[in-house]
Amino acid sequence: MATASTPTSAERVPFRARMQQFWRRVTEGMELTQLWSQFESETRASYRLYSRDVAAKTPEGLTRRGHRLHVVKEFFWAVLEKLSPARRVLLLAALVLLVFPSGGFSYHDSSNDMHVVELDFHFFGGLLLFLLLMLEIADRVVMKRDLQIAREIQTWLLPGAPPQIPGISIAYATRPANTVAGDYYDVFPRPGKTPEDSRVVFAVADVAGKSIPAAMLMATFQASLKTLSTAQVALPELVGNMNKYACSNSQGGVRFTTAFLAEYDAARRVFTYINAGHNTPILRRSNGVIERLDVGGLPLGILADAKYESASVGLMPGDWLIIFTDGLVEAVNAHDEEFDEPRLLSALESGVSTTPKELLARLMANLDLFVGATPQHDDVTCLLVKASQE
């Protein structure tokens, strides 16, 4: 009688290798700690998404038991309402089948023989959940592909390598909180009536909100800035015209944009700027004195007839200028502490002898070290300018 032979170690190796290959494909080579960190980050993001809906519909004055019941009910609706009506019905049917006890029925055929048919409702409930998962994954794949295309388009709107500008060296970087961002930065020439009147435009802006709506408004901001900059008008008039255009696309001021716009006169080494409700840029003089560039007016898109005032500062060799969005200083760690401006200034002080590119890399590394595994909740943009000896 033949007996089954025990697989040798050589036969077991291919199976182990296949399993390892399968696991690497599933995890994309990530370690368990990285997987857990990703899961934790996604869980927190999902919790914030649903908890906002629950908190908005939870009234005051409920008893502890009433509060719990209300939170459970609103959480259920927060999840359900994010599905299409057809998928809501599918989910409800799946939940009913999962809690319904398995059973069956009997019948007699023409020969009077009794047949028993057993139904496993749990199996069909799981099958409906799997179908719902497939539908949601298909939507996610399509959306992810569209978002990737949108990100590529948005990347085209942002500058590439920093331009070479007499008297200064610059560096910039942005990190979107989602696939696409609402932050914008740019550095580009603005020709004047004569070569002596030519300027270089510096722009850093932050559209209220995140993801696709903010990204779309960021694109309109970029287009209006590039178009309106061709007109031979002073900076206050340019910003005023941009504000009027922004008001026509801001949904009554809900989608406003904070912006720092400046013109650099390389011949005179002078920055003329307007701060439209943006985080105050920091100008560190070569002797260590800190100045704030806060002259300007309201964010763009709030009041159509808002007036904007400009101011000018000279840049001397060794001076540093940091222009940033709130995502940098408001980034939080696991203890809900903000990165804040003192840490930004500390990074600047420790790198005043370096180049903007080196300081920017150091600043982003410090930010990563501070934040750790905490998910990024806002877009981060930073532009550094250092006045040279030229």
**pTM greater than the 0.75 cutoff:** no
* Largest Cα span, the chain: 107
**Average of pLDDT values for 374-382?**
86
Give pLDDT tens digits for 351-363.
999 999 999 999 9
| CATH superfamily placement of domain 162-387 | PPM-type phosphatase domain (3.60.40.10)
Stronger pLDDT, 70 or 234, i.e. the higher one = 234
Closest CA to 326 of 180, 128, 183: 183
pLDDT, average across residues 279-298 = 95
Mean pLDDT computed over 2-27: 70
With a cut of 50, say whether residue 1 has pLDDT above it: no
Nearest alpha-carbon partner for 308 in 253, 243, 249, 245: 243
Phi, psi at 3, each rounded to 5°: -115, 150
Burial class (CB in 10 A: 0-12, 13-18, 19+), 367: buried
Higher per-residue pLDDT: 177 or 3: 177
Q: What percent of the chain has pLDDT over 90?
A: 41
Taking residues 293-313, what's their average pLDDT? 94
Give the pLDDT confidence score for residue 227 in this predicted structure: 92
Is the pLDDT at 11 greater than 60, yes or no?
no
Any alpha helices (H) in the chain, and if so which ranges? 9-27, 32-56, 64-80, 85-99, 121-157, 211-228, 235-247, 326-329, 340-350, 356-371
Of 89, 103, 56, the C-alpha closest to 75 is 56
Residues 116, 104: Cα–Cα separation, whole Å: 7
| C-alpha dihedral, 132 to 136 to 138 to 139, nearest 10° | 140
The mean predicted confidence, pLDDT, of the chain is 85
Residues of the chain with CATH 3.60.40.10: 162-387
Gap between the Cα atoms of 98 and 104, Å rounded: 15
| Cβ pair 283, 312 in contact under 8 A | no
Query: What is the rounded average pLDDT of the residues 77-92?
Result: 88
Q: Are 284 and 313 in contact (CB under 8 A)?
A: no
The predicted structure's pLDDT at residue 390: 62
* Residue 40 pLDDT level (bands cut at 50, 70, 90): confident
